[in-house]
Chains A and B, each alone.
Chain A
Amino acid sequence: MKGTNLGEFEELVLLVVVARPEDAYSVAIARTILEVSNRKVVHSVVHASLNRLNKKGFVTSEMKEGTAERGGRSKRVYKVTAAGMRALEDVKAQRDKLWNMISPAGLVKVYG
C-alpha cells in the first residue's frame, strides 16, 4: 500500500506536526528535527515530505501571514488529519507489538 504507507522520515515530520502544532511549518519542523534527533536536514527534504504527506491526506495546510525574517512571504502551516493520526497510531501499534514480542531473555541473547 504505497499510497498510505508512512516512511521513516515522514513519520518523523508528521510526529513533529502533531507535537508542535503551533510551529508546524517547514522551517520550524526542520529545526525541531534538528533539536530532537540532531539530524541536519535540508529544507527541501522537509518540504518534499510535507508535500507527500499532504498528497496522502495525512496533513492539511493553510497559508498564514509571513513575518519580517521571511521577507514578508506567507507560510504554509500544516495540521494533522484524522487519517494522519490513525497512520501514526498504526505505526506505533506495530512497533509496540514487535517490542512486546521481544522477551527480556531474548534481548540479552541478542546482545550476548
Chain B
Amino acid sequence: MAEVKNHKPPRWADKFLEWYCSPDQIDDVQGALYEYFFERVNDGRVKEARRMFVIDVFTHFRPHIIKRNRQQYRNNNITMLKNNIKISVRSLWKHKLTTVLNVLGLTIGISCFMIIMIWVNNEKSFDSFHSKADRIYRISNTFTSESEQFSQAPSGPALGAQLHKLYAQVENGVRVGNNSAQIRVGDNNYFENNMAIVDASFSEVFDFKVLRGVPSDFFKEINSLVITESIAKKYFGSDDPIGKLVTMDGQFPMTITGLMEDPPSNSQIQFDMLISMEFVKSNWNQPNMDDNWGGGWFHTYLLLEDGVDPKVLQEDITRFIKDKLTWFTERNMSYAYFLQPIKSIHLESNLRYDFGNNGSTQNVSIFTAVAIIVLLLACINYINLTTANAVKRSKEIGIKKVMGALRKQLFAQYLVESVLVVLFATALSIGIVYLSLPQFESFIGYTIPFEPGTVLIGIVVMSVIILGVVSGLFPAATISSFKSLDVMRGKLSSGSKGGRIRKALVIFQFTATVILIISIITVSRQMNFILNQDLGMATHEVIAINFRGIQEVRDNSQVLTDRLLENPQIKAVSFQRRAYPVGGLSNGTTMVETGDGNKVSSSLYHMWVDTEFDDAFGLEMVAGRFFSKDFPTDTLQAIVVNEAAVESFGWGQPEDAIGKEMGGQNVRRVIGVVKNFNFEGLHKQVEALRILPALGNNYGTMAIRADLSNPYDLLRSIEDTWAEINPTVPLDYSFMNDDIKDQYETVFSFRSIFFFFSTLSIVIACLGLFGLATSATNQRIKEIGIRKVLGASTSGLIQMISTDFLKLVVLSSILAAPIAWYGMEEWLSSFAYRISVSWIYFVGAGILAVLVSMLTVSYQAIRAAYSNPTKSLRQE
C-alpha cells in the first residue's frame, strides 16, 4: 500500500477536473477516477493508470457535469429578475394607495428636479457656445474719484480698438454697444431697441450663426446693416433680405449685407441687428473715438492668446492706461481694469450698465437647493411609505424566508421594486417636463432649449436610477432583515423596524417644509414691500413716450405740448434728453465743491430735463426751486441735485446746498434740492444725482402726467394729437408703472418659480405624512378596537393618533426656525430696501405646518376612531 501511495495521478489533469467539474459531482467523479488509478497502479500498470486517468478526465468533460459557468449564472439571474419584476408588479398593484402616493410623490419630485436642473444647466451654459469662450474676456473697470467709487461693465472705446494691436497677449478685440434706431422699410416705420454696434471683428471672436452673407464683408461699406432672422421676417416676410435698402433714423440709407440667426437665449449679447463702429464714428461725429481711453462707452471683449494670465495682463493694462489718462490723473480720478471670463459674466458679474439678462449665482444656488430638497423629500417619502408598508407584507417575507429565500434575494426583490417605481415615475416626469416646459418658459420669460436625448437627459435618467437604488436601499435592508419567526408569531409592530430612522426622516421632511413656508412668507412680504415702496414719483400717472430724438418731434415740441394740455385730463407735459427713470441713467465726471469749500473730482449720475420735469413726475423740492422759464440763465448756470448728493458731498442741510458750485469748465450753481426719488430700482440705494437743463434740440423722450382713470379716451386723444402733429413718427408709449414692473421682472419670476416649487415640496411632504398616518393607523387598528371596547372616547382616540405626528411637526418647526432665519437674512441682504425677518413669520409657518399636518393626519385618525371595533377585532 505504501508503494501505491507514492504514485499520484497527473496533477494537471486532476486540477483540470477540479476546475471544470461542478461541486456536487466532484467527489464522486474524482473518487471513481482515483479508484481506477490506484487499481491499475496496484496491478503494476503505472503508465497505463496515468494515461487512462488523463483520458478519463477528458472523457468526463461533458455538459452534465461541467460547472455552471458565468453565462449560465447570468441566465439564471435574468430569470430571477423576471420573477422579481412580476412579483413587484403584483404587490405594487395590490397596495394601490401606497403605490399611488409613492409614484405621485416621486413624479412631482423628479419633475421639479428635472425642470430646475434644465434651468440651472441653461444658466450655467451662458456664452459657452462660443468656440473660443475659454479665451474671451470682457474688460471692465472700477472708477475711483475723490468722492466715490463704482465698477462698471463698459470701458473707453480705445481699449477695444487698440489693445490687440499693442499687446501680443491679446489676439483680438471687439466692442459691443447698444443703441436704438428707427428703421423705415418702404412705407413702414419700426422702432428697434436692440441694435448692437459692433466692430468688424465681431464674427471672428464670437460664434453667432451667420445664415447669409460673408462675415468679413459685412461692414465693408460703412452703411451696412446685418439683421437677424426674426427681423428679416418682420421686414420682408419670406423675401431674401440681402441687398435690400432701408432707411435708418430718417436719414441714413442702409444696405442689408448679412442675415444672422437670432442669438441663442443663453447669450449675454442679445441683438436684433448690427451696425458697425465705423458707421458710428463717422455719423456720430466721433472721429477720434478710437483714441479715447476713458469713460464707459462699450462692452469690450478681448480674445486672449492661449495661456495668458488675465490677472497679470489686467495690471499691465491698468498701468498703461493710467499714463494715457493724464486729465483724469490730475484730478485724482483713476480706472482699475479687470478681465472677466465671458462664461462667468452672466452669473457672477453685477456691475453698473451690465446686461439686463444677467442671472445670479445666488438664484442658481437657491434653486439647486430647492431642487435637491424636493427630490430628497420625494425620496424620504418613498423610504417612509415603503418601510411602513413593509409590516403589511411581513407575512410574505416570513413565508419566503421559511421556504429558503436568502436575504440577498429578498433584498434584490425590493430593490427591483423601488427601481421599478422610480423608473415609472421618471417616465411620467419626462412627459410632464416636456409638456410643462413651455409654461415654465413663459413663467421665467425666456426660452430654454430642450431636446430629449441630450446629455442632460442622460444624466437625469442615470441619477434617477441611482435614486431608485438609494431610496430602495433602506427599505430593502429593513424588510429583508425581518426574522421569519418573529413575523410568523406576529411580533412585528410598526415601531420595531426602523421606526426611529423613519421619525428622523419625517422630522427632516417637515423641517425642510417649514423652512420653505417661512421662505414663502418672507419672499412675498418682501415683494409686496418693494411694490408698495414709494419711489418718490407719481409713477401711476405718467405715460412715457420715446420718440428717439427725431427732429420733427423736437421742432414741434411746443405745439405738441400746447395741444396736449388742451385735454383736461393731462396735467403736465415734459421733455427729456433720454428715457428716465427708472434705470439706464448715465453718469459723468465733474468737479464738485464740498461742504468745507474744497473742490473734489466726482462721477455721478446725471439727467437732462426741461422745466416741467418736476411737475410731470411729481417731484418734491426740499430746498430752492426747480428750473424755470422765468430764469433764462438756468440753461447755462443752474443745476438741481437730490438729497443723496447733499449727503455725499457733506453739504449739511439741503438749504446749505444752494449756491454750491459744480463743474469743471462751465461752472453751475445748485439752485434746488429735490427729495430723493428712486431712479435705479429698489435693490439699489438712491445715489447722488445731478439734474441739468435740457436744450430743445436735445430732446429724445417725453412724459405726460395725466389722470389715468379713463386711459382709453386719454390714449385715443394723445394718439390723435400725435398723428396730427407728427404724422410720420410712430407713437411709442408705455405706462411708467408697467416699465417699473418690468424692472422687477426677474425678481417676480424668481418669486413665482420659488413659490411653485416650494408649494410642490409641501404637497410631497403631506403625501408622505398621509401615507404614514394611513399605515400607522392600520397597524394600530386592533389596539384602537380594544381601546374602544374598553370605553375610550372618539376624541381621545383622534388625539392619541394625531399627537404622535404633531410632536414631530412641532419639533421640526423648532429646528427649522434658526436655519430659515439665517437663509432669509442672507437673501434679504441683497436688497437695499428690505423688510426685517419677524418672529411672526416663524410662528405663522409653524401654525401652518401644524394645521396642514393635522388636516392630513386627521382623516386617518377620524376614520380609525370611528371604525367599528367588531370589524377590527373579528379576525384572529
Contacts and interface: CB of A to CB of B under 8 A. Distances in A.
A26 B36 CA distance: 11
B64 A27 contact: no
A71 interface: yes
Contacts of B55: 42
A70 B30 CA distance: 8
A75 B25 CA distance: 9
B35 A70 contact: yes
A94 interface: no
A71 B146 CA distance: 103
Nearest to B28: A76
Interface stretch (A12-20, A43-51, A80-88): A43-51
A28 B29 CA distance: 13
B780 to A, nearest CB: 52
Size class of the contact patch on chain A: 20 to 34
Interface string B20-44: 0000000111111111101100000
Interface in B382-439: none
Given A51-B64, A75-B27, A44 B34 contact: no
Given A42-B56, A43-B32, A48 B27 contact: no
A74 B31 contact: yes
Contact of B28 (A26, A42, A52): A26
Contacts of B1: 68
Contacts of B32: 25-27, 43, 47, 70, 75
A66 interface: yes
B139 to A, nearest CB: 84
Contacts of A71: 30-31, 34, 38
Contact of B59 (A25, A42, A66, A75): A42
B158 to A, nearest CB: 94
Nearest to A70: B31
Given A27-B36, A69-B38, A69-B39, A47 B60 contact: yes
B34 A70 contact: yes
B760 interface: no
Contact of B56 (A44, A51, A52, A63): A44
B680 to A, nearest CB: 90
Contacts of A39: none
B62 interface: yes
Contacts of B36: 27, 43
Interface string B659-693: 00000000000000000000000000000000000
B65 interface: yes
Contacts, number: 62
A95 interface: no
Nearest to B58: A44
A27 B35 contact: yes
B29 A47 contact: yes
Contacts of A69: 34-35, 38-39
B35 A74 contact: no
A94 B33 CA distance: 36
Nearest to A66: B31
Nearest to B4: A69
A73 interface: yes
A76 B35 CA distance: 13
Nearest to B31: A73
B11 to A, nearest CB: 13
Given A69-B38, A69-B39, A44 B59 contact: yes
Contacts of A51: 64-65
B27 A73 contact: yes
B20 to A, nearest CB: 13
A13 to B, nearest CB: 14
Contacts of B56: 42-44
A71 B62 CA distance: 23
A106 to B, nearest CB: 42
B60 A75 contact: no
A112 B33 CA distance: 48
A53 to B, nearest CB: 12
A27 B35 CA distance: 8
A38 to B, nearest CB: 18
Given A26-B28, A63-B28, A73-B30, 12 more contacts: A25-B32, A27-B32, A43-B60, A47-B32, A51-B65, A66-B27, A66-B31, A69-B34, A69-B38, A70-B32, A71-B38, A73-B27
For the complex of A and B, the 4 pairs showing the least CB-CB separation, nearest first, are: A73-B31, A70-B31, A44-B59, A76-B28
13 contacts: A27-B36, A42-B55, A43-B32, A43-B33, A43-B60, A51-B65, A68-B1, A71-B31, A73-B27, A73-B30, A73-B34, A74-B27, A75-B31
